[in-house]
C-alpha cells in the first residue's frame, strides 16, 4: 500500500482576497482558479486547495472550518527577519518567534480569515 500527501486544504470566505494573500505572503503560484469556490495553488512540490464553503461539495464534505491553526508548517530562514517583513506588510503575527524545546524556532501568522500557519526555522 502506497500513501502520500497529495494536497493541503484551506477554507476561506473570500477566494479573490485569499489568492492575493497566498501569492504575496507565501509566493504560491496559481494552477487552477474557479471563483468563487475553488483555487489550486502550488508552493514548490506542495499543492494547496483553497476553497470556500459551498453547496456543490459532496454530502459529508460540506461542513468546513474557516480559521484556526493548520498543520501546514512553512520552513523559513532568518525567522525574525521574515516576521519583521511580514508584520511591516500588514500580515497578522499571532505568535512572535520563540525557541522550541528541540532547539528550532517557530512563529505563527494568520491569513485574513484567521487560518494560522506555523513558520519554522531550524538553526
DSSP the chain: -------EEEE-S-HHHHHHHHHHHH--EEEEEETTTEEEEEETTEEEEEE---TTSPTTS-----SEEEEEEEE-SSHHHHHHHHHHTT-EEEEEEEE-TTS-EEEEEE-TT-EEEEEEE--
Is residue 110 domain-shared with residue 79, that is, in the same domain? yes
Q: Which domain holds residue 81?
A: 67-123
Asked if residue 21 is part of any domain, the answer here is yes
pLDDT of 123 > 80? The answer is no
Amino acid 71: pLDDT: 78
pLDDT band at 63 (very low <50, low <70, confident <90, very high): confident
Is residue 1 domain-shared with residue 49, that is, in the same domain? yes
Is residue 115 domain-shared with residue 72, that is, in the same domain? yes
Domain count along the chain: 2
Amino acid at each position: 500500500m502506497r500513501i502520500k500527501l497529495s494536497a493541503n486544504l484551506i477554507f476561506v470566505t473570500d477566494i479573490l482576497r485569499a489568492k492575493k494573500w497566498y501569492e504575496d505572503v507565501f509566493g504560491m503560484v496559481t494552477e487552477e482558479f474557479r471563483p468563487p469556490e475553488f483555487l489550486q495553488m502550488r508552493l514548490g512540490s506542495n499543492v494547496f486547495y483553497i476553497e470556500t464553503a459551498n453547496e456543490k461539495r459532496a454530502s459529508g464534505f460540506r461542513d468546513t472550518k474557516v480559521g484556526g491553526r493548520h498543520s501546514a508548517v512553512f520552513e523559513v530562514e532568518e525567522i525574525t527577519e521574515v516576521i519583521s517583513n511580514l508584520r511591516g506588510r500588514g500580515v497578522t503575527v499571532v505568535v512572535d518567534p520563540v525557541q522550541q524545546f528541540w532547539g528550532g524556532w517557530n512563529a505563527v501568522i494568520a491569513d485574513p480569515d484567521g487560518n494560522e500557519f506555523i513558520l519554522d526555522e531550524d538553526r
